[in-house]
Structure 1
């Protein structure tokens, strides 16, 4: 077995996680359905190493800055840093060699939890400062709890997310019902927010009462975070996904969530709309929007991110 094929198996009676150090990645997640059968509920690839030739971030931890930084332009404390661009002239998920392509170090593991670490050196993908990240995954009953903590030795930006694509059954997630606890979304051009915060009412982005998600690759503002947010706050309900006899509920402590319904998927083994990525995070392109929650991290501070995904039979 190569280092890339290493897997850590975490179990509860009703949940099974296969965690790959390559990208601190949810390689496989299985949940028991109402009949007691195991159901695969995230998209993956046959071999872990296959992700090195794939650009869809399936199940990975993304960073140093999740989502997009416009034109790769990053200014921290008056100093400009040029990041490599990898998406329509912008920097996506930390650049072409982001955290999803690194093999993280396993620092602890047991039957129900594991902790991984990555050290990102100063200048990595153009970002300043040496950043040390810890990722912890814990399976408890029907819940997967994921948490990140990061520190730096120089001012920088950090915004992480888990990029799992969920599908609760069948061959497509287009028939699932998605509920988003969001009253506003961020309009985008080429994936980058315009700066407007728009009401979802009367638009196709209004999923507050549930519905088919359609073609989405958009950031939303989590309810309760419209007028203020501080790191380390409580977990809030973000989304509920229902389909094929299962319900997935996601809670997180981030002010935003990116929802991507995989409409651009164009190669096996996953067709367009094969899954739905629900990514709690700071808003995209935070360096160009000082009015939004900041991704700036300074020495002595700790960046934190936590989510809980709970999967139960639909009753």
Structure 2
């Protein structure tokens, strides 16, 4: 058994291509039944390197991601729930697809072509992650699964015109794929029949140390020299600020715990830690670029996050208060996980200096993010 674990870890470190006989596969199962009788399917993607990812149709969410450490010990590095009940009753955005508009919308108000709209307020004075019933709280349809060099599952949700106050019927797909190079890719697309706003992301909570350990020792690199400071309710002020000389400078590898509680910075006080957008670029691009690199030094587990988006929301799990019992009955506390969300900047529809999140008929929205998993040698 120890030899097998060592071989799995070595394969993850090497990241070499698999032979056709070791192609990744996708297997469907039943994750549970909602109170209204609807079944919630789950699809588990597995490769030959000891990595597996389970996606559930409720919220098109990443429910589990298992990977070995440098000793070959496999652990689930996603914070969430073991069963459907938690996702249905206290979702907390665990692993979920968030939209139509991820992050915050100031006072839940916006304008399109001179007409004012509003979306439900659910985060202090603001709307967060699509409103009171965003994409994280709806049942998506599994429309396709594939085996092969990359195993995948595609889910679809049709958001009707007026859903959470947003105009236009929005048809959205979420495709999760896992290949033999240990790359987990989440690709979102959306089309609309009326002008609307779209800014979809994934809210996976990562703890690369595995269950029972905190995430503040994770070492983070973010290749950004600017971020968008916010007001006390976490709405951007509409300008960029330099990270140099501040607690927001992650251009060199830095442990989260080194500065996350530095109350001398008013922005840290506002967010109770990190809950801010880093400026990676000034527009959505065709190709992906690196957004962040994260390593947990004890286990050696890590990932590089690549996306085509201009912004990265880094959240340090500041609002876990020990009242949510998750996997294996663990009570999640402040700092037990971190979130990295590639997206356009928060409140972009109300900030004329930010990249646009408008989507018109005939256009296709795309957010493609790839977690390049690895195990770091000592």
Q: How would you bin the TM-score normalised by the shorter chain?
A: over 0.9
In the alignment, the residues of structure 2 paired with residue 53 and residue 198 of structure 1 have an alpha-carbon distance, to the nearest angstrom, of: 39
Quick one: which of 61, 80, 83 aligns to 1:47? Answer: 83
Distance in 2, matches of 1:51 and 1:85, equals: 21
1:153-164 alignment, distance < 5 Å: 153-164=193-204
Q: CA deviation at 1:200?
A: 0.2
2:357 corresponds, among 281, 291, 295, to 295
Please identify which structure carries the higher helix content: 2
SS in 1 for 2:372: strand
Taking a change above 3 Å as real, the CA distance of residues 133 and 232 of structure 1, as seen in their structure-2 partners, is farther
Give the stretch that moved more between structures: 124-133 or 110-119. 110-119
The CA deviation string for residues 189-238 of structure 1, in whole angstroms up to 9 with x for no partner, is 2111011200000000001101122221111101xx1xx42x44211111
The question of whether the paired residues in 1 share the 8 Å contact of 2:68 and 2:301 is answered with no
1:254-301 C-alpha deviation (Å, 9 max, x unpaired): 000101111110123311101100000010001111221111000000
Q: Does 1:126 align with 2:169?
A: no
1:35 partnered with 2:35: no
Alignment of 1:117 with 2:152, yes or no, is no
1:148-227 to structure 2, matched below 5 A, reads 148-170=188-210, 171-189=213-231, 190-213=233-256, 214=260, 215-222=273-280, 225=281
Query: Does the Cα contact within 8 Å between 2:80 and 2:95 map onto a contact in 1?
Result: yes
Aligned residues: 310
Cross-structure match for 1:236: 289
2:132 alignment partner in structure 1? 96
- Three-state SS of the structure 2 residue aligned to 1:7 is strand
For the Cα contact (< 8 Å) 1:4–1:21, is it kept in 2? no
Residue 42 of structure 2 is matched in structure 1 by 7
For 1:92 and 1:34, the matched residues in 2 are separated by 38
2:183 to 121, 129, 143: 143
Task: Specify the structure having the higher radius of gyration (Cα).
Answer: 2
State the TM-score, normalizing by the size of structure 1: 0.95
Further displaced range: 157-166 or 1-10: 1-10
Per-residue CA deviations over 1:7-51 (Å, capped at 9, x if unaligned) read: 111111232011000000000001122222212111111213312
The alignment yields a C-alpha RMSD, in angstroms, of 1.3
Residue in 1 that maps onto 2:13: none
CA 293–221 in structure 1, closer or farther in 2 if over 3 Å, else same: same
Mean Cα displacement is larger for which, 122-131 or 165-174? 165-174
Secondary structure of residue in 1 paired with 2:363: coil
